[in-house]
Amino acid sequence: MIERWQARVRAMSLLAGLALLALALLGLQYGASTYVQRVAVDIGIMIILTVSLNLSNGYTGVFSLGHTGFMALGAYGSALLTMTPQVKALNLPDLPAWLAHVHLGFLPALVLVGLAAAAVALAVGYPILRLTGPYVAVATLGFLVIVHIVIINAQAYTRGARTFLGLAPLTNLWWVYGAVVVTIYTAWRIVNSPIGRAMLAVREDPVAARGAGVDILRARLWSFAVSAFFTAVAGALWAHFILAFSASSFWFAVTFEVIVMLIVGGLGSISGSVAATVALSILSEVLRNAERGVTLFGYHTPALYGLSQIVFALVFIAFIVYRPQGLFGDREFSLWPILARWYPPLREAVMAGRQLAE
Amino acid sequence: MSLLVVEGLEKSFAGVHAVAGYRLELPEGAIHGVIGPNGAGKTTLFNLISGYVRPDAGRVRFAGRDITHLPAEARVRLGLARTYQNIRLFKSLSVLDNVRVAAQLHGSAPFPHVLLSTPRFRASEARIRREAEELLDLFGLGPHRDARAGSLPYGLQRKLEIARALAARPRLLLLDEPAAGMNPAEAAQLVAQIRSIRDRFGLTIMLVEHVMPVVMGLCDRIQVLDHGEIIAEGSPEAVRRDPKVVEAYLGTAVEA
């Protein structure tokens, strides 16, 4: 009884949340400056990166430092699929014929690069994911280095170390937040399913997980492939938003940024990842503006370039030292305790329902 | 018919025999004990039978099937579950989830159903939850189902480990020192509980134990290991009187 009621409330709050998101997007589209819109797009892409990395690093305990490689795959791969043959002839004259004539829509390109990244994740993960702890981190970092070198050398496809350009500006708020919703929904479903429980069991104790019948490698490959899928989608969205990038765009800076957001939010908390990404993105945006020097209450601060990165790193260190479990730990944000505090009859109803059940 | 048949099992670590020439024919429904002083090879034996360690020689047959080369997770699927000497729970998961991880072994919905939360997925989740909750209730863990496993007191953690092993629907349950750290009253209760789960689930049980009243009160047959070899075997009464057993445990009376 109480459970059915809770399920109904959950479904209603999900719909309400989606409606609120749609309203916010409408507001951003018609009422916000281009600058604010760009920040919102950036935040959405970071949310996808953080939530998908959480599946592997947070839930399964496979601490990957190589996901930026999947992001690069998504960026370059999707660009090669969506660019018109004319633009490709101009920018990438050495492209093989079959690829030079491909011209796909944005959605099929996103799905294809996601699937390609998942396939690469399975191939790379098969040998790597037998390792544990720091060895996995180092091995995945090796994957990132390989991707970087391939990008620089595969000149016909990537223009090497030079800037890659010629993409159409396909990414907008709706694409990004559509992908955010799909990512969070998928992660949520997986986490609350046998697959998710197997992933958590593997993180907690691989020996006992085997003893409960869990195939460790299979669980790790699942999480690695799904998170690679969404990381590549985020890379594709980012590419069609920033429009010009190079091999160095997919290197340690992004890797570090996403991992900071993940850890500040809490390994194993989807809502934590979202909250930390929003908060840290806004903080770093404010600081980036302050770097040029600002006038506050009549005082003018000097220009402090690099301020945002330094504060970012300090926030990270502070969390590691004082709150290593992050904002949310491995728990999820829930409306119930808040509703129950505001509206005592609800709390009593829930308690009564629990007693009845026992 | 014997549920578990082990022949000529050997395992050495760095030239030292951990288990040598071990054999066993375990009839269905039996409660079999393995005792021996520290370092006698009991835990290695369990690791060999449950598939965590590969033997150097010998064969393990379970329910008529050669499982010598199967990994642990595959053996669990066939019905061979175990507990661990140093409790191994998924500490930061809930008590319920600890059991659900094993209960989902038999029939969970494929990925598309998970993604779309189809009726089939919900039905399998309900089945998994129901089975897990029944087991928790059986061990008096029902009220703790939402607590983190690591926060339970020691005795309840032991029970949760057994509940999790049972959720895999085993035919053979290996218990590695189930009474370790328990006081005599708790140990006596454990004996009764192990018997009742044997009868209730139609199990065959093999256990390694140090607490003698538990072994003597529970087992039909006992094997005594020393330096990896079986030095005595028989009913609890016979084993207790065997001079070789007394010697292995207490040392010889006179040593030059």
Domain check: are B73 and B177 in the same one? yes
Contact between B223 and B25 (Cβ < 8 Å): no
- Kindly list the residues from chain B whose CB atom is less than 8 angstroms away from the CB atom of residue A215: 73
B66 and B174, same domain (yes or no): yes
Mean pLDDT of A17-39: 95
Residues of A in contact with B145 (CB under 8 A): none
- For the stretch A53-79, pLDDT in tens is 999 999 999 999 999 999 999 999 999
Residue A17 has pLDDT above 60, yes or no: yes
Site of tokens 């996995």:
A136
Both B174 and B250 in one domain: the answer is yes
Over pLDDT 90: what percentage of chain A? 78
Residue B175 Cα, gap to closest chain A Cα (Å): 12
Any residues with CB less than 8 A from the CB of A354 and at least 6 apart, and which? A2
What pLDDT shows up at residue B235? 92
Residue of chain B whose alpha carbon sits nearest to that of A193:
B114
Phi, psi of B60 (to 5 degrees): -125, 120
> How far is it, in rounded angstroms, from Cα B9 to Cα A302?
77
Per residue in B65-97, pLDDT (tens digit) is 999 999 999 999 999 999 999 999 999 999 999
Cα–Cα distances (Å) from A134 to A17, A52, A252, A295, in that order, read: 39, 20, 17, 46
**What three-state secondary structure class fits B204?**
strand
Distance in angstroms (rounded) separating the CA atoms of residues A88 and B144? 62
Cβ distance of A210 and B168 shorter than 8 Å: no
**Predicted confidence (pLDDT) at residue A226 exceeds the cutoff of 50:** yes
Summarised one tens digit per residue, pLDDT across range A73-96 is: 999 999 999 999 999 999 999 999
Tens-digit pLDDT profile for residues B6-24:
999 999 998 888 999 999 9
Token pair 């065997």 is at which residue?
A: B242
Distance CA A284, CA B219 (A): 67
Average pLDDT over residues A131-135: 86
Neighbours of A2 (CB within 10 A): 14
Partners of residue A213 in chain B, C-beta under 8 Å: 73, 76-77, 102, 105, 168
Closest CA to A54 of A179, A172, A168, A188: A188
Query: For chain B, how many structural domains are there in total?
Result: 2
One domain, residues B123 and B161: yes
Query: Among B169, B190, B219, which residue terminates a domain?
Result: B169
Residue B127, CA distances (Å) to A22, A167, A199, B121, B166 in order: 37, 50, 20, 10, 15
How open is the CA angle B12-B14-B16, to the nearest 5 degrees? 50
Distance from CA of B147 to the nearest CA of A (A): 13
DSSP letters for A292-333: T--EETTEEPPP-TTHHHHHHHHHHHHHHHH-TTTTTTT---
DSSP assignment letter at B255: -
Q: What is the pLDDT of residues B178-217, one digit of tens each?
A: 988 888 888 888 899 999 999 999 999 999 988 888 888 8
Distance CA B11, CA B23 (A): 13
- Examine the pLDDT at A353 and tell me if it is beyond 60: no
Measured CA to CA, the distance from residue B44 to residue B100 in angstroms comes to 28
Residue B12 domain boundaries: 1-79+170-256
Nearest to A104 by CA among A9, A232, A236: A236
Output the pLDDT for position A242: 97
Minimum mean pLDDT range among A319-328, A344-353, B125-134: A344-353
Please give the Cα distance from A253 to A267 (Å, whole number).
20
Select the residue of A189, A201, A208 nearest B117 (Cβ to Cβ): A189
Please report whether residue B196 resides in a domain: yes
pLDDT digits (tens, 9 = 90+) for A251-302: 999 999 999 999 999 999 999 999 999 999 999 999 988 888 777 777 777 7
How close, in Å, is residue B244 to chain A by CA atoms?
A: 35
Question: Which residue of chain A has the CA closest to B137?
Answer: A358
> What is the amino acid identity at position A329?
G
Using left for φ > 0, alpha for ψ between -120 and 50, and beta otherwise, residue B199 falls in: alpha
- Regarding whether B147 and B180 lie in a shared domain, the answer is no
Q: d(Cα B241, Cα A186) in Å, to the nearest integer?
A: 63
* CATH number of the domain encompassing residue B4: 3.40.50.300
3-state secondary structure of A245: strand
**Backbone CA torsion sign across A95, A98, A101, A102:** negative
pLDDT at A103: 95
Q: Are B33 and B218 in contact (CB under 8 A)?
A: yes
Pairwise CB contact (< 8 Å): A215 & B73: yes
Is the pLDDT at B41 greater than 80? The verdict is yes
What is the DSSP pairing of strand B80-82 with strand B172-176?
A: parallel
Is the domain of B35 the same as that of B136?
A: no
Does residue B225 share a domain with residue B246? yes
Domain's final residue, options B169, B202, B227: B169
With an 8 Å Cβ cutoff, are B73 and A205 in contact?
no
Task: Name which of A86-100, A202-216, B119-133, B231-245 the model is least confident about.
Answer: B231-245
Q: Are residues B154 and B187 in the same domain?
A: no
Q: Do residue B156 and residue B221 come from a single domain?
A: no
Q: State the pLDDT at residue A350.
A: 61
Confidence of residue A43 (pLDDT cuts 50, 70, 90): very high
Residues B14 and B138 in one domain: no
Q: pLDDT-derived band of residue A358, with 50, 70 and 90 as boundaries?
A: very low
pLDDT class for B243, splitting at 50, 70, 90? confident
**Exposure string over A202-229, b if 16+ CB within 10 A, otherwise e:** bbbbbebbbbbbbbbeebbbbbbbbbbb
Q: What is the mean pLDDT of residues B147-172?
A: 95
Contact A25, A173 (CB under 8 A): yes
Q: Which one-letter amino acid corresponds to residue A335?
A: L
Asked if residue B256 has pLDDT above 50, the reply is no
A-to-B residue pairs, Cβ atoms closer than 8 angstroms: 85
Interface test with B, best of A10, A59, A184, A214 (most B CBs within 10 A): A214
Please tell me the least confidently modeled range out of A194-203, B19-28, B35-44: B35-44
**Per-residue tokens: A340:** 């129950």
Mean pLDDT of chain A: 91
- B107 pLDDT band (50/70/90 cuts)? confident
Domain boundary among the residues B169, B189, B214 is at B169
DSSP, res A54: I
A193 CB neighbours in chain B (<8 A) are 108, 114, 121, 125
Residue range A132-155: mean pLDDT, rounded: 94
Are residues B131 and B180 located together in one domain of the fold?
no
Mean pLDDT of A168-190: 97
Q: For residue A1, what pLDDT is reported?
A: 55
Q: How many CA atoms lie within 13 A of A37 on its CB side?
A: 16
E strands, chain B, in order: 2-13, 16-27, 31-35, 57-62, 65-66, 80-82, 172-176, 204-208, 221-226, 229-234
Residue A195, both tokens: 């697959």
Whether residue B85 lies inside any domain: the answer is no
CA dist A266 and A284 (Å) reads 19
Q: Of A281, A59, A44, A70, which is closest to residue A183 (Cα–Cα)?
A: A44
- In order, the DSSP letters of B102-160 are HHTTS----HHHHHHT-HHHHHHHHHHHHHHHHHHHHTT-GGGTTSBGGGS-HHHHHHH
In a domain, B84, yes or no: no
Rounded percentage of chain A residues whose pLDDT exceeds 70: 94
- Judge if B110 and B147 occupy the same domain: yes
Q: Indicate the angle between helix axes A216-242 and A194-204, nearest 10 degrees.
A: 110
